[in-house]
Amino acid sequence: MKKAPGEEPHDELAVTPPRTWAAGVPAVAHALEYSLEETSARRTGTTLLTMNQVGGIDCPGCAWADPAPGHRHRNEYCENGAKHINDEATTRRVTADFFRTHPVSELARRSDAWLNQQGRLTEPVVKRPGSDFYEPISWNDALALMAGELAGLDTPDEAVFYTSGRAGNEAAFVLQLFARALGTNNLPDCSNMCHESSGFALHETLGTGKGTVSLHDLHHADLIFLVGQNPGSNHPRQLSALEEAKRNGARIIAVNPLPEAGLLRFKNPQKPSGVIGRGTQIADRFLHIRNGGDLALFQGINRLLLEAEDARPGEVLDHDFIREDTAGFEDFAAHVRGVDWSRILTATGLSRQEIEQVRDDVLRSRRVVVCWAMGITQHKHAVPTIREFVNFLLLRGNIGRAGTGACPVRGHSNVQGDRTVGIWEQMPDSFLDALREEFGFDPPRAHGLDSVRTIEAMRAGRVRFFLGLAGNFVRAAPDSAVTEEAVRSCRTTAHISTKLNRSHTVCGETALILPTLGRTERDVQASGEQFVTVENSMSEVHTSQGRLRPASPLLLSEIAILCRLARRALGGKPDIPWERFEADYGVIRDHISRIVKGLHDYNQRVTRPGGIQLTNPVNEGVYSNGVGRALFTRNTGEAPHVPEGHLLLQTLRSHDQWNTVPYTSDDRYRGIHGSRRVVLVNPDDVAELGLADGRGVDLVGVWTDGVERRAEDFRVVPYPTARGCAAAYYPETNVLVPLGSVADESNQPTSKSIVVRLEARADSPPDSRGT
Ligand SMILES: Nc1nc2c(c(=O)[nH]1)N[C@H]1C(S)=C(S)[C@@H](COP(=O)(O)OP(=O)(O)OC[C@H]3O[C@@H](n4cnc5c(=O)[nH]c(N)nc54)[C@H](O)[C@@H]3O)O[C@H]1N2
Ligand SMILES: Nc1nc2c(c(=O)[nH]1)N[C@H]1C(S)=C(S)[C@@H](COP(=O)(O)OP(=O)(O)OC[C@H]3O[C@@H](n4cnc5c(=O)[nH]c(N)nc54)[C@H](O)[C@@H]3O)O[C@H]1N2
Ligand SMILES: [Mo]
pLDDT of 722 over the 60 cut: yes
Could you give the 3-state DSSP secondary structure of residue 606?
helix
Q: How much distance in Å is there from the Cα of 368 to the middle of ligand 2? A: 32
Q: How much distance in Å is there from the Cα of 74 to the middle of ligand 1? A: 28
- Residue having the nearest C-alpha atom to atom 20 of ligand 2: 471
The three-point CA angle 408-409-415 to 5° equals: 100
Domain residue spans in the chain? 14-88, 97-193+414-518+546-601, 196-408, 647-760
- Residue having the nearest C-alpha atom to atom 46 of ligand 1: 411
pLDDT of 18 over the 50 cut: yes
Assigned CATH for 196-408 = 3.40.228.10
**Which ligand 1 atom minimizes the distance to the CA of 415?**
12
Query: pLDDT tens across 353-364, in order?
Result: 999 999 999 999
Q: What is the pLDDT of residue 767?
A: 60
Ligand 1: which of 192, 230, 295 to mutate, most ligand atoms within 8 Å of CB?
230
Starting from the CA of residue 739, give the closest ligand: 2
- Residue having the nearest C-alpha atom to atom 19 of ligand 1: 374
Q: Across residues 63-73, what is the average pLDDT?
A: 77
pLDDT of 152 over the 80 cut: yes
The CB density around residue 91, as the number of other CB atoms within 10 Å, is 11
**Which ligand 1 atom minimizes the distance to the CA of 654?**
23
Starting from the CA of residue 190, give the closest ligand: 2
Q: What is the pLDDT of residue 281?
A: 84
Give residue 537's identity as a one-letter amino acid code: S
Q: How much distance in Å is there from the Cα of 470 to the middle of ligand 2? A: 8
Q: How much distance in Å is there from the Cα of 194 to the middle of ligand 3? A: 4
In the structure, which protein residues have their CB atom closer than 6 angstroms to any atom of ligand 2?
A: 164, 166, 190, 193-194, 374, 411-412, 470-473, 476, 496-499, 501, 516, 518-519, 558, 651-652, 659-661, 730, 734, 737, 751
Q: How much distance in Å is there from the Cα of 457 to the middle of ligand 1? A: 29
Starting from the CA of residue 467, give the closest ligand: 2
Q: List helix spans (H) across 312-351.
A: 319-325, 329-337, 341-348
User: What DSSP designation does 189 have?
Assistant: B
d(CA 355, CA 372): 18
d(CA 399, CA 389): 11
**Which ligand 2 atom minimizes the distance to the CA of 121?**
42
- Residue having the nearest C-alpha atom to atom 27 of ligand 1: 229
The CB density around residue 110, as the number of other CB atoms within 10 Å, is 17
Q: How much distance in Å is there from the Cα of 486 to the middle of ligand 2? A: 19
Query: pLDDT tens across 493-516, in order?
Result: 999 999 999 999 999 999 999 999
d(CA 391, CA 400): 14
pLDDT of 146 over the 90 cut: yes
Query: Which residues fall within 8 angstroms of residue 202, CB to CB, at 6 or more apart?
Result: 208, 209, 210, 211, 386, 390, 406, 408
Query: pLDDT tens across 300-341, in order?
Result: 999 999 999 999 999 999 999 999 999 999 999 999 999 999
Q: How much distance in Å is there from the Cα of 473 to the middle of ligand 2? A: 7
- Residue having the nearest C-alpha atom to atom 42 of ligand 1: 258
pLDDT of 175 over the 70 cut: yes
Query: pLDDT tens across 117-137, in order?
Result: 999 999 999 999 999 999 999
CATH 2.40.40.20 fits 647-760, yes or no: yes
- Residue having the nearest C-alpha atom to atom 17 of ligand 2: 476
- Residue having the nearest C-alpha atom to atom 32 of ligand 1: 375
Q: How much distance in Å is there from the Cα of 263 to the middle of ligand 1? A: 12
pLDDT of 763 over the 70 cut: yes
- Residue having the nearest C-alpha atom to atom 4 of ligand 2: 476
Per-residue pLDDT band for 23 (boundaries 50, 70, 90) equals: low
69 cis-preceded (ω within 30 degrees of 0)? no
**Which ligand 1 atom minimizes the distance to the CA of 752?**
32
Per-residue pLDDT band for 1 (boundaries 50, 70, 90) equals: very low
Q: Across residues 454-461, what is the average pLDDT?
A: 98
Q: How many residues does the chain have?
A: 771
**Which ligand 2 atom minimizes the distance to the CA of 412?**
14
Q: Which residues of 580-589 are buried (b: 16+ CB within 10 A; e: fewer)?
A: ebbbbbbbbb
- Residue having the nearest C-alpha atom to atom 45 of ligand 2: 476
Q: How much distance in Å is there from the Cα of 609 to the middle of ligand 2? A: 29
Per-residue pLDDT band for 459 (boundaries 50, 70, 90) equals: very high
Closest of 179, 138, 90, 165 to residue 469, by C-alpha: 165
Starting from the CA of residue 730, give the closest ligand: 2
Per-residue pLDDT band for 9 (boundaries 50, 70, 90) equals: low
Helix (H) and strand (E) counts in the chain:
32, 32
Query: pLDDT tens across 548-607, in order?
Result: 999 999 999 999 999 999 999 999 999 999 999 999 999 999 999 999 999 999 999 999
Q: What is the pLDDT of residue 6?
A: 67
Starting from the CA of residue 753, give the closest ligand: 1
Q: What is the pLDDT of residue 712?
A: 97
Assigned CATH for 97-193+414-518+546-601 = 3.40.50.740
Look at 30 and 711; give whichever has higher pLDDT.
711
- Residue having the nearest C-alpha atom to atom 14 of ligand 1: 411
- Residue having the nearest C-alpha atom to atom 3 of ligand 2: 476
Q: How much distance in Å is there from the Cα of 413 to the middle of ligand 3? A: 9
Strands laid side by side in the 510-515 sheet: 134-136, 125-127, 510-515, 492-497, 465-469, 159-163
Per-residue pLDDT band for 28 (boundaries 50, 70, 90) equals: low
Query: pLDDT tens across 385-444, in order?
Result: 999 999 999 999 999 999 999 999 999 999 999 999 999 999 999 999 999 999 999 999
Q: How much distance in Å is there from the Cα of 260 to the middle of ligand 2? A: 23
pLDDT of 41 over the 50 cut: yes
Q: What is the pLDDT of residue 771?
A: 38
pLDDT of 725 over the 90 cut: yes
Look at 550 and 30; give whichever has higher pLDDT.
550
Per-residue pLDDT band for 76 (boundaries 50, 70, 90) equals: low
- Residue having the nearest C-alpha atom to atom 37 of ligand 2: 470
Q: How much distance in Å is there from the Cα of 74 to the middle of ligand 3? A: 27
pLDDT of 181 over the 90 cut: yes
Query: pLDDT tens across 665-701, in order?
Result: 999 999 999 999 999 999 999 999 999 999 999 999 9
Query: pLDDT tens across 253-272, in order?
Result: 999 999 998 888 777 666 65
User: What DSSP designation does 68 have?
Assistant: P
Could you give the 3-state DSSP secondary structure of residue 555?
coil
Same fold? 97-193+414-518+546-601, 647-760: no
Q: How much distance in Å is there from the Cα of 164 to the middle of ligand 2? A: 6
Query: pLDDT tens across 634-663, in order?
Result: 999 877 889 999 999 999 999 999 999 999
d(CA 517, CA 575): 27
Q: What is the pLDDT of residue 450?
A: 98
Q: What is the pLDDT of residue 25?
A: 42
Q: What is the pLDDT of residue 78?
A: 74
Q: Across residues 204-214, what is the average pLDDT?
A: 96
pLDDT of 24 over the 80 cut: no
Per-residue pLDDT band for 49 (boundaries 50, 70, 90) equals: low
Q: What is the pLDDT of residue 770?
A: 39
pLDDT of 29 over the 60 cut: no
User: What DSSP designation does 192 have?
Assistant: G
Q: What is the pLDDT of residue 31?
A: 56
Ligand 2: which of 90, 114, 166 to mutate, most ligand atoms within 8 Å of CB?
166
Summary mean pLDDT of the chain: 92
**Rounded-to-10 torsion of CA 325, 331, 337, 342:** -110
Q: How much distance in Å is there from the Cα of 401 to the middle of ligand 3? A: 28
Percent of the chain with pLDDT over 90: 83
In the structure, which protein residues have their CB atom closer than 6 angstroms to any atom of ligand 1?
A: 61-62, 80, 194, 227-230, 233-235, 255-258, 260, 289, 291-292, 294, 373-375, 411-412, 650, 652-653, 657-659, 752
CB 726 within 8 A of CB 650: yes
- Residue having the nearest C-alpha atom to atom 26 of ligand 2: 471
